[in-house]
Amino acid sequence: MTDLFDLSGKVALVTGGSRGLGREIAMGFARQGADVIVSSRKLEACERVAADIRGLGRRSAAFACHMGHWDEIGGLVDAAFGAFGRVDILVNNAGMTPAVPSSLDVTPELFEKVVALNFMGPYRLSALVGSRMVQGHGGCIINVSSVGALIPRAGFGPYAGAKAALNAITTAHAHEFAPKVRVNAILPGAFRTDISKAWPKEKEAHLHAAIPRYGEPDEIVTTALYLASPHSGYTTGAHIRVDGGRVS
């Protein structure tokens, strides 16, 4: 069955790839034969993941880019194509999930920061990479959204709205870049990453879900591999929940 996920000869670009779900996806792709470009704000952290990927016998490069800064994104694309000549798989994973006491407490600066990182950055990167994919060999784009876009909660309005916008452009880009490029979204629930260490200890015990626990980071990988694989060639514009069956 692992042959279904064979990514040999493919080049993947993963944003937010230095930790958490992004790192798990980057390493999962590498284990299936892909060369991986790792990007996040901190170059040193990206370099560590790139070294781990090279340890698997794959090519890897690290590039620093703040996905909330529109003007930096073109440089990332040029660097990626310059180093590898192509990008076959793009994973828009970088994001942030700040909680706010109330809508009245949200400042313009925070609102713009959340929207820029969770929506504008992926939009711009998808536009630049997707257009090159259309002109070249095709490819696929995977947007890491959130179940919060479907089940928004008080205190996370800007984040939920930005992720809902990301879901919308997933569908829009699936049509714009078709048929050579497939564009899909993964909607994770709560996962046991470094971010979860800051959550209240009782949160996991009170999850309203069919599987009432946090997801483990590696449990996101198979969904990403499916969407990246040619065997999902008839899947585009899909929003796939990986959230343990969250109901609220």
72-94 pLDDT, tens digit each: 999 999 999 999 999 999 999 99
Contact 123, 46 (CB under 8 A): no
Q: Where are the domains of the chain?
A: 2-242
Q: What is the mean pLDDT of residues 140-156?
A: 95
pLDDT of residue 217: 86
CA 198, CA 132: separation in Å to the nearest integer? 39
Report, as residue numbers or ranges, the catalytic residues: 159
Weakest-pLDDT range from 37-41, 66-70, 94-98, 108-112? 94-98
- Across-strand partners of 62? 38
74-to-70, 112, 127, 162 alpha-carbon distances in Å? 8, 20, 10, 21
pLDDT of residue 66 exceeding 80: yes
- In CATH, the number for domain 2-242 is 3.40.50.720
Q: What is the mean pLDDT of residues 225-239?
A: 97
Per-residue pLDDT tens over the stretch 155-179: 899 999 999 999 999 999 999 999 9
Per-residue pLDDT tens over the stretch 171-223: 999 999 999 999 999 999 989 887 777 677 788 888 899 999 999 988 999 99
